[in-house]
A = this chain, B = another copy of it.
Amino acid sequence: MDRATALTALQALANDARLDLVRLLMPTGVQGLAAGEIGRALGLSASRLSFHLSALEQAGLTRARKEGRNVFYAVDPNGIGRTIAFLLNDCCMDHPEVVACCRNGRSPAEIRPAQD
Protein backbone atom coordinates (compact mmCIF):
# COMPACT_ATOMS: atom_id res chain seq x y z
CA MET A 1 0.00 0.00 0.00
CA ASP A 2 1.44 3.31 -1.02
CA ARG A 3 1.72 6.20 1.32
CA ALA A 4 -0.94 8.36 -0.32
CA THR A 5 -3.53 5.61 -0.14
CA ALA A 6 -2.67 4.89 3.47
CA LEU A 7 -2.94 8.56 4.32
CA THR A 8 -6.39 8.77 2.75
CA ALA A 9 -7.47 5.70 4.69
CA LEU A 10 -6.12 7.11 7.95
CA GLN A 11 -7.89 10.38 7.37
CA ALA A 12 -11.08 8.46 6.71
CA LEU A 13 -10.69 6.53 9.95
CA ALA A 14 -9.76 9.56 12.02
CA ASN A 15 -13.36 10.59 12.45
CA ASP A 16 -15.86 9.75 15.10
CA ALA A 17 -18.82 9.05 12.84
CA ARG A 18 -16.79 6.97 10.41
CA LEU A 19 -15.25 4.94 13.18
CA ASP A 20 -18.78 4.15 14.32
CA LEU A 21 -19.64 3.25 10.78
CA VAL A 22 -16.81 0.75 10.52
CA ARG A 23 -17.65 -0.75 13.87
CA LEU A 24 -21.28 -1.14 12.90
CA LEU A 25 -20.53 -2.69 9.54
CA MET A 26 -17.73 -4.98 10.64
CA PRO A 27 -19.91 -7.76 12.08
CA THR A 28 -22.31 -7.68 9.13
CA GLY A 29 -19.66 -9.10 6.81
CA VAL A 30 -19.97 -9.05 3.05
CA GLN A 31 -23.70 -8.55 3.15
CA GLY A 32 -23.38 -5.26 4.91
CA LEU A 33 -26.25 -2.94 5.76
CA ALA A 34 -28.52 -0.69 3.74
CA ALA A 35 -27.73 2.99 4.00
CA GLY A 36 -31.08 3.75 5.59
CA GLU A 37 -30.58 1.18 8.31
CA ILE A 38 -27.15 2.55 9.02
CA GLY A 39 -28.52 6.04 9.30
CA ARG A 40 -31.20 4.93 11.71
CA ALA A 41 -28.74 2.89 13.77
CA LEU A 42 -26.30 5.76 14.16
CA GLY A 43 -28.74 8.67 14.12
CA LEU A 44 -27.17 10.28 11.08
CA SER A 45 -29.03 12.34 8.53
CA ALA A 46 -29.17 10.89 5.04
CA SER A 47 -26.83 13.41 3.49
CA ARG A 48 -24.30 13.26 6.28
CA LEU A 49 -24.32 9.49 6.10
CA SER A 50 -23.86 9.53 2.35
CA PHE A 51 -20.93 11.88 2.78
CA HIS A 52 -19.19 9.70 5.34
CA LEU A 53 -19.87 6.50 3.45
CA SER A 54 -18.38 7.90 0.30
CA ALA A 55 -15.31 9.01 2.22
CA LEU A 56 -14.86 5.46 3.45
CA GLU A 57 -15.47 4.03 0.02
CA GLN A 58 -13.02 6.37 -1.67
CA ALA A 59 -10.47 5.33 0.90
CA GLY A 60 -10.99 1.69 -0.04
CA LEU A 61 -12.36 0.78 3.36
CA THR A 62 -15.90 -0.11 2.32
CA ARG A 63 -17.73 -1.36 -0.73
CA ALA A 64 -21.18 -0.40 -1.97
CA ARG A 65 -23.60 -2.76 -3.65
CA LYS A 66 -26.90 -1.72 -5.19
CA GLU A 67 -29.91 -3.91 -4.66
CA GLY A 68 -33.29 -2.63 -5.77
CA ARG A 69 -33.57 0.85 -4.40
CA ASN A 70 -31.29 0.12 -1.51
CA VAL A 71 -27.55 0.50 -1.42
CA PHE A 72 -25.79 -1.92 0.88
CA TYR A 73 -22.52 -0.95 2.40
CA ALA A 74 -19.99 -3.45 3.67
CA VAL A 75 -16.50 -3.09 5.04
CA ASP A 76 -13.57 -4.21 2.93
CA PRO A 77 -11.51 -6.11 5.49
CA ASN A 78 -8.63 -6.10 3.07
CA GLY A 79 -8.56 -2.32 2.86
CA ILE A 80 -8.66 -1.92 6.60
CA GLY A 81 -6.11 -4.66 7.13
CA ARG A 82 -3.72 -3.12 4.66
CA THR A 83 -4.07 0.24 6.34
CA ILE A 84 -3.23 -1.24 9.71
CA ALA A 85 -0.38 -3.16 8.09
CA PHE A 86 0.94 0.11 6.69
CA LEU A 87 1.12 1.59 10.16
CA LEU A 88 2.73 -1.47 11.59
CA ASN A 89 5.18 -2.27 8.81
CA ASP A 90 6.01 0.87 6.84
CA CYS A 91 5.54 3.43 9.50
CA CYS A 92 6.75 1.56 12.58
CA MET A 93 9.14 -0.73 10.74
CA ASP A 94 7.77 -3.66 12.68
CA HIS A 95 9.21 -2.23 15.87
CA PRO A 96 9.05 -5.18 18.29
CA GLU A 97 7.53 -3.16 21.11
CA VAL A 98 4.81 -1.79 18.88
CA VAL A 99 4.05 -5.24 17.58
CA ALA A 100 3.99 -6.71 21.07
CA CYS A 101 1.80 -3.97 22.43
CA CYS A 102 -0.49 -4.27 19.49
CA ARG A 103 -1.08 -7.91 20.36
CA ASN A 104 -1.75 -7.44 24.02
CA GLY A 105 -5.01 -5.52 24.38
CA ARG A 106 -7.13 -8.43 23.32
CA SER A 107 -4.96 -10.37 21.02
CA PRO A 108 -6.08 -11.86 17.70
CA ALA A 109 -4.79 -15.39 17.40
CA GLU A 110 -2.55 -16.23 20.33
CA ILE A 111 -4.92 -15.27 23.12
CA ARG A 112 -8.29 -16.08 21.62
CA PRO A 113 -7.82 -19.42 19.88
CA ALA A 114 -9.65 -18.20 16.74
CA GLN A 115 -13.33 -18.59 17.28
CA ASP A 116 -16.23 -16.71 15.63
Contact = CB atoms under 8 A, between A and B. Distances in A.
A15 B106 CA distance: 27
A85 B105 contact: yes
Q: Chain A interface: which size bin?
A: 35 or more
Contacts of A112: 94
A78 interface: yes
Given A10-B14, A87-B87, A99-B109, 20 more contacts: A7-B15, A10-B10, A11-B14, A13-B91, A22-B91, A26-B91, A26-B92, A26-B95, A77-B98, A80-B92, A81-B97, A81-B98, A81-B104, A83-B87, A84-B98, A84-B102, A88-B108, A89-B108, A94-B106, A96-B114
